[in-house]
Amino acid sequence: MNYLDKKSTAMWIPTPIYEALPYLYIIGGVLFISGTLYIGLTAPGAALYIACGLISIVYGAVIFAKRHAYRQNSTSAGSAEPA
């Protein structure tokens, strides 16, 4: 039996880790960029490290913004009174 044959193939992440992921991505990106500044901008691969850092920061910010917007919409929809 193939593992894809199961009804639910969704991955489950514990809530504290799931909630911390955007912050971890942003911190990781800052560390990539800080590490590049530490080793020098002329070091081999410095551009790759900066690119990884920027991508990580943007990805973390996008996840944070999407979660915030979803939670705002779900709480405002749940508290709306019927007409």
Domain housing 70: 17-74
Average pLDDT over residues 29-52: 95
Number of domains present in the structure of the chain: 1
Inform me whether the pLDDT recorded for 61 exceeds 90. Answer: yes
More confident residue, 27 or 10: 27
Average pLDDT over residues 39-43: 93
The answer to whether residue 6 is domain-embedded is no
DSSP code, position 79 = S
Average pLDDT of the chain to the nearest whole number: 87
CB atoms within 10 A of CB 32: 20
Q: Three-class SS string for 12-35?
A: CCCHHHHHHHHHHHHHHHHHHHHH
The answer to whether residue 82 is domain-embedded is no
The answer to whether residue 21 is domain-embedded is yes
The answer to whether residue 65 is domain-embedded is yes
The answer to whether residue 42 is domain-embedded is yes
Structure tokens belonging to residue 20: 């911390």
Position 5 confidence tier, pLDDT thresholds 50, 70, 90: low
